[in-house]
Amino acid sequence: MQKIKKYIKPFIIWILSITLIITIILVKNIYFNNSSNELFNYNKIQLSKLPKNVNNFSFAVMWDNRDGDYVLRKIIKDTNSDKNIIFDINWWDLVPDGYKKEFRKYLKLIKTSKKPFLSVIWNHELPWYDWETNYKQMFWKTYFSFTIWDNYFIVLDDSNEKDLDKQQFSWLKSELEKAKNYKNKFIFMHVPLYDPRKWNLKEWHSLSDLKQAKQLNDLFDENKITMVFASHIHFYYKWKWQKTPFIISGWAWAPLKKYKKHWFYNYVKVTINNDKVRYQVIKVNVKPLWLINKIIQSIKDTFNF
């Protein structure tokens, strides 16, 4: 009995200490996730900064940077130094879980960009408890369009990994009608129509509603889409779905899937020069000390310095 009593007090102290630590963490998360000092409609603000009357320009496209601040920081540094790039677009898998504190950390990083920086939603931005709320509050709509000179940009939200709902599908048709007289038409969607690793237009890591995937493909063909940019699959691939060209990449840092020559971190520089469009895949060289950098950054984030 004496031996048991000897261990009771240390055990109680240990339990109380763990409880206190958990309470502090929870209170901190609640505070940071409910701060009233929010930045709303970030994408809308960025769109207002885009020039409208330029016909020779470049833009940078990047994908899936969650957990990869070190690489995204390198990409932003590169695009800042490129005078031809007038905006960056980073779509989907921006953060690991979609909590506001993660978005704040992400916003702090992308504010280092000297160019308008668009950030578009996908599955890792959708925490189970409030679905799209955090993203919509801080960034704006989940699907939208914009124009620059003779170029029409359409951003889609297929975050359910299945299809576009009726409202968005109808909106897309309307946007394509508006875009019919534009020289170039670009589509951005996170989940690809089909997985290029499964030919014959089959579903795998792609839209599960194959009937709508075919409808979308036909719609893109009919409207002569210049390029579809997709992600979700963590490798680089460029080809065509029927008549519609596409580029798939998921490598601004998210975990790599090894497929020989398609396996490298990258972003794509798209250059529009009058009637010509050029796509340049730019490899991102990651130093072997990336893990140490990640640990250091995690410590800085934890202690807010």
Domain ranges of the chain: 2-33, 42-301
Q: Among all chains, which residue has been given the structure tokens 């140490």?
A: 292
Pick the residue with more confidence: 186 or 69? 186
Residue 22, token pair as written in the block: 């958990």
Nearest to 47 by CA among 180, 173, 130, 145: 145
Residue 253 phi, psi dihedral angles, 5° rounding: 165, -30
Give residue 192's pLDDT: 92
Rounded to whole angstroms, how far apart are CA atoms 71 and 4? 53
The pLDDT tens digits for 224-261 are 999 999 987 877 889 999 999 999 886 544 444 444 55
DSSP 8-state assignment for residue 166: H
Nearest to 147 by CA among 122, 180, 190: 180
Give residue 129's pLDDT: 43
Nearest to 94 by CA among 116, 62, 70: 62
Give residue 256's pLDDT: 44
Lowest mean pLDDT segment, chosen from 134-138, 194-198, 273-277, 293-297: 293-297
Rounded to whole angstroms, how far apart are CA atoms 109 and 106? 5
Give residue 231's pLDDT: 85
Q: How far apart are the first and last CA of the chain?
A: 49
Nearest to 142 by CA among 113, 171, 162, 114: 171
The pLDDT tens digits for 87-139 are 999 875 555 555 677 778 888 889 999 999 998 876 444 444 454 677 777 88
What average pLDDT does range 1-25 have in this prediction?
A: 72
Does residue 297 surpass a pLDDT of 70?
no
Q: Look over the chain and give the mean of its residue pLDDT values, rounded to a whole number.
A: 80
Give residue 253's pLDDT: 43
Sheet holding 276-283, edge to edge: 117-120, 85-91, 56-63, 266-273, 276-283
Pick the residue with more confidence: 286 or 143? 143
The pLDDT tens digits for 168-216 are 999 999 999 999 999 999 999 988 999 887 655 655 679 999 999 999 9
CATH class of 42-301: alpha beta
